[in-house]
Amino acid sequence: MSATSQIRALTPADITARKGGQPIVCLTAYTTPMARLVDAQCDVALVGDSVGMVLHGLPSTLGVTLEMMILHGQAVARGLKRALMVIDMPFGSYEEGPAQAFRNAARLMAETGAAAVKLEGGRHMAETIAFLVARGVPVMAHVGLTPQAVNTLGGYKVQGRGADAARLRADAQAVAEAGAFAVVLEKLPARLADEITAAVPIPTIGIGASARCDGQVLVVDDMLGLFTDFRPKFVRRYGELGAAAEAAVAAYAADVRARAFPGPEHEFADDAAGAKA
């Protein structure tokens, strides 16, 4: 048996067991090539509804459909061997009630091979989370800044400041009690994120929260610097691939216009004897 065939994919239970232990590494992925890169280093590959903004040019995540999530989920699944694949439930696919949520979660998992779904919301989603978990659907919760509720929240601003902190504490406790195997904390004051991490029995995965969360997640395109004009405060850029790509495209365009590409080494001879490939 080859080493590759012995690789075991991580499960939601494996992630829960990491509470208070080695930090959980999570990045988004939307395509097979990116999934392969993420799989080599990460514990969780999140097929985020951020795909709508990152790859489809939508102004928010609200226009993302189940069909879009299924298409990208299938692509990501082809690139994974070890990382736990979690897929976002898009806006409008679960808020109506537990039965709607189960129907759509079951479709997402069946058609993509995802091991778990992620949905946004705190106390008001606890009943739905419990309903899904009882029926075999592992759920990663998401509280704090919930992008699908951006119109209600009044923009992409930090949540849980001042008196609002009690709401976020209650939300995190509610999703944990409902059976979520982990919870994303997005855009919270660091002290509040630390308090929640200490209080709940499931791993917290921060994005714009605290280094003391049980794990971290970023949109992979953000941390690679694929967008030259988008620099949120909570993202550390580990590359500047956007600038490198712009330079490469400009160099290619210049070579084509100067007839410097293709060169002789890129062309094919018209007879077999002179052909190199």
Tens of pLDDT along the chain (277 residues) come to 444 557 899 999 999 999 999 999 999 999 999 999 999 999 999 999 999 999 999 999 999 999 999 999 999 999 999 999 999 999 999 999 999 999 999 999 999 999 999 999 999 999 999 999 999 999 999 999 999 998 888 888 999 999 999 999 999 999 999 999 999 999 999 999 999 999 999 999 999 999 999 999 999 999 999 987 778 888 999 999 999 999 999 999 999 999 999 999 999 998 766 555 5
Annotated binding site: 49-50, 88, 118, 120
Q: CB of 171 within 8 A of CB of 149?
A: no
Residue 170 has, within 13 A of its CA and on its CB side, a CA count of 8
Each domain of the chain, given as residue ranges in start order, spans 4-239, 245-274
pTM value?
A: 0.93
Beta bridge partner(s), residue 117: 87, 139
Q: Is 186 a catalytic residue?
A: yes
List the CATH code of the domain at 4-239.
Answer: 3.20.20.60
76 Cβ neighbours under 8 A, 6+ residues apart: 29, 30, 31, 32, 34, 35, 45, 47, 85, 112
Annotated binding site for Mg(2+): 49, 88, 120
Cβ count within 10 A of residue 213:
24
Annotated binding site for 3-methyl-2-oxobutanoate: 49-50, 88, 118
Beta bridge partner(s), residue 215: 24, 205
176 Cβ neighbours under 8 A, 6+ residues apart: 141, 183, 200, 201, 202
Q: Choosing from 67, 96, 186, 240, which is the catalytic residue?
A: 186
CA distance 109 to 86: 9
